[in-house]
Amino acid sequence: MRDLKALIIVAIVTGIIYWGVEPLAHGIMHPPVKAAEYDYKDTPILPKGDVANGATLVQTNCVACHSIKSEGFEAPMSDLDSANSYGVVPPDLSTAGSMYHEGFLAGFLKDPVKATNLSHKFTDSKPYPMPGYSWMSDSDIADMVAYLRSIAKSDLSGKEIFIDACARCHSLKYDKVFSSTPQDIVSNYMGSTPPDVSMMIKSRGAKYLHTFINDPQKLLHGTAMPKVGLTQEAEKKVVDYMESIGDSKKEERESLGVKVIIFTIIMTIFAYLWKVKIWRDVH
């Protein structure tokens, strides 16, 4: 009976610490933030875009800096020259229409600083490398978005999305993916060196990464990392890809954890029965 009372007391104390003290301490050290948002309510609803006119507008206004390799437009400069000119290598636009939310694309074309939530970094005296196209009509913006969506394949893998959306600044060396922008240049552009994210899934966790990718300012106010603008599906693919590289043994580890718990319970029962048998006469 004394053993049972001791077990109950230990269980109660453990429960108070696990479900009471620890969440309270975590809430104080890591205040809650708004969940990731994917609807882009601030972006006006776009009319149905004309793909043909969008092709003309994109190829007239964008290929001077960007490549669209799927359409035969190569980058006008090497990665090194582009990085030196803009601070970071401009992305290839072949996949933009698939992995970025159309509301983000429209907002970005009109005002890149507002769309990426980087008004603290870029000002009139220090402009964003890409100009805004706010002078364009909503109809023209819709046409450009429609064209980008029409040329982008819809079955992008997590690795493909990571390379196009993240690897201009970040490396993931565990899968031999390296930043296309030289480290010294991107470090100067960002104000600090973007980390290799090979193990970020284990150090931060999937929930943190989803919120951070969606809007870094929620978790690290003042960071130079932009709001990425990925769709919810594309963002999940990126995080899943990072998990497959940085925590490839997760399923095996979790399945082993269940086995360890079962083994511990069985051994606890045997230990208790053995203790009762040995000390029965004494008690």
pLDDT in tens, 105-142: 999 999 999 999 999 999 888 889 999 999 999 999 99
The structural domain count of the chain equals 2
67 & 177 share domain: yes
- Locate tokens 């509301």: which residue? 103
209 and 142, same domain (yes or no): yes
Q: Are residues 256 and 240 in the same domain?
A: no
Find where tokens 């051994």 sit.
267
Q: Which domain holds residue 78?
A: 51-246
User: Are residues 215 and 131 part of one domain?
Assistant: yes
Put simply, whether the predicted model's pTM sits higher than 0.85 gets the answer no
pLDDT in tens, 230-273: 999 999 999 999 999 998 877 777 778 888 888 888 998 888 88
Identify whether residues 169 and 196 lie together within a single domain.
yes
User: Alpha-carbon distance 159 to 180, whole Å?
Assistant: 15
Tokens, residue 91 = 């992305």
Same-domain pairing of 143 and 198: yes
At CA 212, angle to CA 169 and CA 245, rounded to 5?
65
Q: DSSP class of residue 171?
A: -
Share of residues in the chain with pLDDT > 90 (%): 64
